[in-house]
Structure 1
Amino acid sequence: MPRATVKQISILQSHASFSLQFTTNAPKNINIIISKVQSGATYDEIFQSLMHDQACSTIPISDTLLSHLLHRFKDDWKSALGVFKWAESIKDHTPLPKSYEILLDILGKTKQIEKMMSLVNQIHHHHHHHHHVTLGSITKVMRRLCGVGKWQEAVKIFDDLHTFGLEKNTESMNLLLDTLCKENKVEQARKIFLELKSCIPPTPHTFNIFIHGWCKVKRVDEAHWTIQEMKGYGFSPSVITYSTIIKSYCQDSEFVKVYELLDEMKVHNCPPNVVTFTIIMCYLTKFGEFEEALGIPEKMKSFGCEPDTLFYNSLIHTLAKSGKIQEAIYVFEVEMARFKVSRNTSTFNTMIAMFCHHGKDEEAMNVVKNMGNLGDCKPDIQSFNPLLKMWLRTRKVDLWLSDLLDEMVNKYNLSLDLCTYSLLIHGLCRVNECEWAYGLFKEMIGKDIKPRYYTCALLLEEIKQMKNYDAADFIEGYMKRMKSS
């Protein structure tokens, strides 16, 4: 086993010794709590260990503290639920509706649908007087139900809104229709709308939801019909309406139709906006039409549109893709500041991805450091994925990688997600660090993040070659359970 590996695994498995850079006393408290959360424990064990801990009992629990903790465990539902139950049990502390919303979303995202539903019912019964179930929470729940194919249950929740002290009105109807359309259930949404429209008045947004839905399922003709229906209600199509259809044409690389529609917008006195042009530039880049994509900023100027952050993010991406690195750096460092357009995490991530793609690891690392120092943008998991990929590709594995992972978890308080775990396990297998990969595999399962079947198969092959039969048995057992479920 290579020298660094044991140390690396222990770094990854210990949640302790955090060096969080916050200004108040909160970080110390957060670190104390995090250090008590054992990876791989059940949520009840986590709850119990916090309940019976001397140090934890002296910590004043605040909404900020709880939201930091939930953010920290956003890909690890057992820890999130355990910590939340503990916070909830402390007397004089009732978590904010926002915290419930975040926890419901974590449970939904990790497909713990029964736990999510029982939490909704619990909030509903315990806080009946405060009406703690917010429309935001219900929306998250409906979205997650639709996401796992339980759309009828989402509709049932909408039907029962009054029991939560919420009303069926245009806002909640639109949220339901939007949820269904985003999961491609446009026809079902349409039926529901036809039942509701006599008692709940639609808004322009209602029709835009359908236009988006029809475009998503590649039925643009239906989207055009919806525009007519919208006009029948006395509403004019907006930039959003047209931009949705433009995006649909872009996806099919029908740019001639795109330019025709731009002209039509001008005629109807509904000129395109910066979002419209960002969409067009993105797709031209995607289809490798770099020259045409780089002509979009001029075209946009001729319509009198000002660039915004998302437009610049796309422009940097386009320049990077077409190999114009210096120009991308110029836009990032000079032009955005000159036009007083702020940079967000994605702006930095686009630069990081570009540098990594060209093997410039120093430059990429500098962007991450700058981001940490600027304070207004914090690196997220996407900031690090290109770096991890690059170092695994160039085989700079040993200490570099463990330091980087240590920094991600400890300094920036990030929790690894499915994508990052997969990337690491695949990359480590390729560079013969499969013991380390196996450590991550077990950590991942402990957090109930389910690896892809392909990842398991790849790791199993490598582990067998190492003649580690116990590990091989463990992986095979896991794969069998995966298949049967």
Structure 2
Amino acid sequence: MNALKPVSPFRLCSLLRLQKDPNLALSLFQNPNPDACSKKPFRYTLLSYDLIISKLGRAKMFNEMEQILLQLKNDTRLVPNEIIFCNVIKFYGRARLPDHALKVFDEMPSYRCQRTVKSVNSLLDALLNCRRFDKMREVFVGMEKYAFPDTCTYNVLIHACCLNGCMDDAWVVFEEMRRKGLEPNGVTFATLIKRFCVDLKMKEAFKLKEDMVRFFGLSPNAYAYSSLIKGLCGVGEVNLAFELKEEMVKNNIKVDSAIYSTLISGLFKVGRKDEVSGVLEEIRINCCKLDTITYNVMINGFCKLKDFEAAYRILEEMADTGCKPDIISYNSIIGGLCKDGKWSDANDLFQDMPRRGCIPDVVSYRMLFDGICSGLEFKEAALILDEMIFKGYVPHSASINRFVDGLCQEGNINLLSRVLKSLGKGNVIDREIWMMVISKICKEEKLSIVPDLVDTLVGPN
């Protein structure tokens, strides 16, 4: 029988690309030729390192990724590309691990890799994801040791200022960028426009849109249009929002489902729900598939209008079109029904969720619990509470206090005792509940049950 042909460095890269499971990819990388008799070390390539590091980083297997990085550091045959470290920094930024990102950046020279503006920008972006604005300033000030800032650098800094709501600082950065001979691009203006739209300063946002076209020769991108349309809908200027959508079409910028969802939400907000069907028809004509977000916007809009029959129809339409309703779909209806005092209908939908392929979450339970308590159906509320505690969920503290107060007012000491035992299991009995219960017991002269209640409130030793 012929022996298996050893895996070559080139073949290893091909196998790593094909392997979807990061654990199996790691095993393959660490031992590409398990049956080989030769003691000669395997000669890894930069590409194989890049592939396995990327797979581990995406899977957030950071301990394993760091082991591979250490191996790369010790493999002195190779001089790693900067992109490898840019990716690692990005992975740490997405995982909200800013100190790890900083450490990798600082250690790049020990890997024989020179830092340039690309790795600086990756670090700034990672720190931005982690909201470490103090460190961003520190990195920017010290970057002249190894790189000069480019437009991307300033875009990240402007984004940080906008996230902080510091528009004056954003303009200072913008002017510094211009003084250094760097031209703003579409991303620069889209970031500034979004901040104005978030603050509902639509006059300033449209002035900036005009300036970018007139003075810089730049056309707004989809991101800028999305912000403007959302801002217009936020201030009730739905007609202008639709005009802007038409401008997008004229400029050959794709109108996606997120834009249509914003427009639909805007129509509901100004009481023009009858026009929603026209938007849906346009979506279908433009071959833009309705997604869960768009359906959820409609469900939420109908629930706010207390048109629950329409909301249920949307839920059924989702299932019919193969777009599976998610937890937000159900919670929107449950929350709307509970606010309208229809807790029984809400409970029916809640109980039907598992059959529909969606498991209630803590928000589902809390909304239903509050709705049942508002309906003064304390026995039903106690059952929901038991189920919540069993699943590791607890109502909001204010909801618990209102529930216990309602039980005290009703005078059902047996149910009160049962509820307190459930709350004790969840370790959510506070001083306010204690004082409320003791006061009630003293008024009712039910002192004989005090020892049992004390045991419940104090809990096991």
Normalised to the residue count of structure 1, the TM-score between the two structures is 0.62
1:335 deviates by 0.6
**2:230 alignment partner AA:** C
Change (3 A) 1:168 1:359: farther
Are 2:223 and 1:281 aligned? no
**2:325 alignment partner AA:** P
Q: Which has the higher contact order (CA 8 A, sep 6+)?
A: 1
The percentage of aligned residue pairs carrying the same residue is: 22
Contact 2:53 2:65 in 1 (8 A): no
**2:210 alignment partner AA:** D
**Rg: which structure is higher?**
2
C-alpha distance in structure 1 between counterparts of 2:54 and 2:315, whole Å: 30
Are 2:241 and 1:297 aligned? no
C-alpha distance in structure 2 between counterparts of 1:155 and 1:339, whole Å: 46
Q: Which of 329, 332, 351 is equivalent to 2:277?
A: 329
Are 2:366 and 1:422 aligned? yes
Structure 1 counterpart SS, 2:324: coil
Change (3 A) 1:102 1:370: farther
Contact 2:369 2:385 in 1 (8 A): yes
Contact 1:215 1:223 in 2 (8 A): yes
**1:249 alignment partner AA:** F
Matches within 5 A, 1:87-166: 120-121=62-63, 124=66, 139=90, 141-143=92-94, 145=96, 155-156=102-103, 159=106
Tell me what 2:357 maps to. 412
C-alpha distance in structure 2 between counterparts of 1:430 and 1:175, whole Å: 51
C-alpha distance in structure 2 between counterparts of 1:389 and 1:402, whole Å: 13
1:313 deviates by 1.2
Tell me what 2:428 maps to. 478
C-alpha distance in structure 2 between counterparts of 1:165 and 1:354, whole Å: 57
Are 2:303 and 1:353 aligned? no
Structure 2 counterpart SS, 1:368: helix
C-alpha distance in structure 2 between counterparts of 1:350 and 1:125, whole Å: 45
Q: Which of 306, 331, 343 is equivalent to 1:385?
A: 331
Contact 1:352 1:386 in 2 (8 A): yes
Tell me what 2:35 maps to. none
C-alpha distance in structure 2 between counterparts of 1:280 and 1:293, whole Å: 8
1:139 deviates by 4.6
C-alpha distance in structure 2 between counterparts of 1:101 and 1:300, whole Å: 37
Structure 2 counterpart SS, 1:341: coil
C-alpha distance in structure 2 between counterparts of 1:355 and 1:441, whole Å: 28
1:316 deviates by 0.9
Post-superposition Cα deviations, 1:98-131, rounded to whole Å, max 9, x if no partner, equal 9977875xxxxxxxxxxxxxx7436645997799
Tell me what 1:313 maps to. 261
Tell me the matched-pair count. Answer: 367
Contact 1:281 1:293 in 2 (8 A): yes
C-alpha distance in structure 2 between counterparts of 1:204 and 1:244, whole Å: 13
Contact 1:425 1:440 in 2 (8 A): no
Change (3 A) 1:162 1:142: farther
C-alpha distance in structure 1 between counterparts of 2:406 and 2:104, whole Å: 47
Post-superposition Cα deviations, 1:13-66, rounded to whole Å, max 9, x if no partner, equal xxxxxxxxxxxxxxxxxxxxxxxxxxxxxxxxxxxxxxxxxxxxxxxxxx99x9
How much is the aligned-residue C-alpha RMSD, in angstroms?
Answer: 4.2
Contact 2:261 2:293 in 1 (8 A): yes
Contact 1:368 1:379 in 2 (8 A): yes
1:420 deviates by 3.5
1:289 deviates by 3.9
1:326 deviates by 1.7
Tell me what 1:180 maps to. 127
Structure 2 counterpart SS, 1:468: helix
1:222 deviates by 2.2
C-alpha distance in structure 2 between counterparts of 1:187 and 1:393, whole Å: 43
Instruction: Give the unaligned 5+ runs of structure 1.
Output: 1-62, 68-83, 105-118
C-alpha distance in structure 2 between counterparts of 1:282 and 1:141, whole Å: 31
Change (3 A) 1:99 1:387: farther
